[in-house]
Structure 1
Amino acid sequence: MTALKDTVAISGIGRSPYARDRGTTELSMVTDAVVEAIRDSGLPREAIDGIVGSGVMTGGVDTATVVSALGLPNITFWASAKPPIVNALMSAVHAVAAGTCRAVVVYHSMYRLGAGPFRERAAFGLPDGRASTGDGHTDSEPWGMFGSTGYAAWASRYLTEFGRTREDLSLIPLNGRRNAADNPGAVMRTPMSREDYFGARMIREPLCLYDMDVPIDGADAFVITAADLAADLPTVPVLVHALAMGMTAHPQEHLTADLRDTGQQMTAAALRARSDLWIDDVDVFLPYDGFSIITLRAFESYGFCADGEAGDFLRDNWDTGEDRILLRGRVPVNPHGGSLSEGGSQGAGHLREAVVQLRGDAGSRQVDGAASAMLTPGGFFFNAQGVVLRREAPLPG
């Protein structure tokens, strides 16, 4: 990873707004986001020579369809990637770093209509589609543990093993909802109290409605370029400082050995070895929160605190005046609201928020002087990921 460090940048971002039901097609949302990202980068469409597509578990929109819809004339590299977003980001970063491309557009889409059958299967423990296509081995009853089933089981294991309670889990959605109030693009902005959380419908013990991300329609897009090209573009370059993924020998939910042996710990170790910046250096922390237990455990896996101590750590870093987490009194956690309140975007929203913060474009939720960000997209099992981004130059003005 040393050879890739700071050599590739995110030079453009675009978004098709999140909503519970957009009433449009997935292709329309993707093309809107991609066009916005290319325009934001300042590049002509002829300069885009690579494309990587990603979508919710239904597979998203095919890259050839997007190329055709937008008339991108000079594509020499393309790939499809499953979520979370770092699968697509890493593919683009490697293509640019290898010299295969100079400017790659990455897109990710979320589409409730297309994902409906998937969600029904996951919610009721029925075949999730992965094993039936040779991808994973988690769908066969009676041991299938995909999605909410698996994370509820491991959340229960966490609370039991470390002697914790749902009070710890509640801190994640409460923090996210408080931050979403400052994000006009979040789909869930109504204030949430502790009483609201504990009064919510239980989905799978111990995870309630607010412990699980919000299904949405929407899309995000990013233009990935060589750093030297980014320096000549109108936007503030956000450098990809380090990337990592992690998967253990048994990455399926029902085969995972224990909470100390997951892809999350492996990713944290790999990211730490590749990055010059770590938890005491970053200005924004964006842990994945598809389920609240993933976020809670990330604080432990990445070294903020010891196993089982995340709840106490977060209470120690809870700003009572602002009623949210502020690490060391200054570093917000998911200032956009995260998947639990902005919308379930498989990490794409986290990546966009990191770029917006490092550009200084986050408006009322802007972190003063933000120059670096850490992200932990993905969960415990087959999709754990980590990213460190940084801004090299001072912000204009």
Structure 2
Amino acid sequence: MMVKKEMSGRRAPSPPDPIAVLRGHRSSIMDVCFHHSRSLLFTGDSDGELRLWNSIEHRTISSTRAHGGASGVYTVATNPSIGDKLVSQGRDGTCKYWDILEDGSLSRNPLLTLKTSGYHFCKLSLVKTPTYFVEPGHASDGSACERLKLMALAGEDASQVEIWDLDSAKRVACLPNFHENSVHPVKSRGMCMSVQAFSHSQSQGSLNILAGYEDGSMIWWDMRNPGVPLSSVKFHDDAVLSMCLDSSCYGGISGAADNKTILFTLDSQLGTCSMKKEIILERPGVAGTSLRLDNKICATAGWDQRIRIYNYRKGSALAILKYHNATCNSVAFSTNCKLLASCSEDTTVALWEIYPHTSKDSKGKLPKEEPVH
């Protein structure tokens, strides 16, 4: 459904309603993500339930108690680097690595259980590599970098970022590497609240880490020289809760506990992270961010129960989506650019069609839309 441009002398139309609402969870849904090549949607809730959905038929395929007790699932993640696998993260200090079967269900037991001893709310990150959107029916260019079966997450010491190998189930690196009883400047930034692992064409396949901290700062590391960060910036006034990079891995969006959403760029040659656009919100709190694969629009999940849509290139507001009646925790775009999923503490998942890729004009541009409030 499109949000059409306001006609002369008429009121702007209301934002669209969800095309479907998925119900089945009994507690707050903490995270949502789409499979990178199949019509599957994954959600995890605060009671530890991991649920798989058919995103076309809008039905549950399977459900499992992934993390026991009241630990909760607060991250679900998959990407092309790990193939038909899924990683779940719980507040029980473990991450679990699952096999996705042909029917869309999960293996009865996880392939691996990684005991990370992390008891916090920083969502793990699989390695993002440059990908390029192509029209359905055409061959994809695929990733420009070597696939890395690694993940990054806040460590046992929550001011550190740990890198884990999903094949060996071992921790392979830690940023920064604290010496025993040492006082490191990163500790003054507080806990790591968000992290993004990535690799781009200029890094020659090397892993990069972008971490957001409790004090509102962000640090960028290149693992070729892990002792010294490439860049350290402070765009936010409070904890950086979410970050998402675009499909080129040269820019992205961040949300925080303050009233700002930041669009930023990364220049690996200069080693700089620069602000492209600062968006001031009426109310504080952005728990989740997502960028569509074609780099045209981005979305945020707000504490104020709203999903906000922006033109990623200009930073202009396009729409505010109103369905949820409690805090929105996460938002995600499908790989084919057709769907947006949002999840909330109200125990529902909403599916939306917002500026679908097929609505572009002959030059491949988004229609000129008026902001919808």
Tell me, yes or no, whether TM beats 0.5.
Answer: no
* Larger strand share, 1 or 2: 2
* Larger helix share, 1 or 2: 1
Instruction: Return the TM-score normalized by structure 1.
Output: 0.30
Structure with more contact order per residue of length (Cα contacts < 8 Å, sep ≥ 6): 1
Instruction: Return the TM-score normalized by structure 2.
Output: 0.31
